[in-house]
Structure 1
Amino acid sequence: PRIDSDFILFDEAQDSDGVMLQILARQTHAQIIYVGDPYQQIYEWRGALNAMSQIDAPELALTESFRFGALFATLASRLLQLLGERTPLRGQPGIGSIISDDPAIAPPVDAILCRKNVSAIWHLAAGIEAGHRPSIRM
């Protein structure tokens, strides 16, 4: 099909599929902007392709997150550096972050990032017990 547009913004390009890439490749009349993060590719198990590695285009790295503070940005930058990333992340100075592996520490928080399902269930139960209305997002 021909997409009747001058510009196409293709988001989550790290989890695209071959059909979408073929359709986009045929849109020679339009400027195509691919947006994606290869470190967030989560559907490779079902055959998703990282369109970012399939195209020949200049790369612009977005390095500032509005979702977490400086402490998480520092930790994430260290982890991404191990994967070969050279550009560090920046967090928001107004967002406080606490990194702890002690589940007994229960400061007032808006979100808790868990590595294991058992930790998520523990925090869910602790939140309910404390009278909060917690939920789990995966």
Structure 2
Amino acid sequence: MSEKLSGKSEMSSVEFVSDALRRRGAPTSIGPVKARIWHAARELGWTVSRTKDAWYADPRISLSADEVRDIEEATGLRYGRQELKEIDKIIARADALLEGADPDFHRPFVAAIRAFFGALDRTGTEG
């Protein structure tokens, strides 16, 4: 099962890719940064220059959906916006199940579900 990359609430795709490359795409066990970038480039089939720009989150680059998908497949991480949609669907299902339930119970229950999933979306709750 894929794991969500935690971090800023509005992480850009470039920031996501940079963080994913550093954490999972080319772990520190490979060696120095230069070797890690070369390793990631080979694994992804990208040029070293493109990989380096993504590694350092160069604000001038724009990543395609295919490139983000390459990172997701290579690292097992998923871009956070997808997970947010899934969490909203789960909450909507919980709301539907509770239709007609006691209103004194309903509102706190939904608040608890939102708090639970919100806690999973914070830094340091990876996994």
The normalised TM-score by structure 2 is 0.21
Higher relative contact order by CA 8 Å / sep ≥ 6: 1 or 2?
2
Higher share in helix:
2
Larger radius of gyration: 1
The normalised TM-score by structure 1 is 0.20
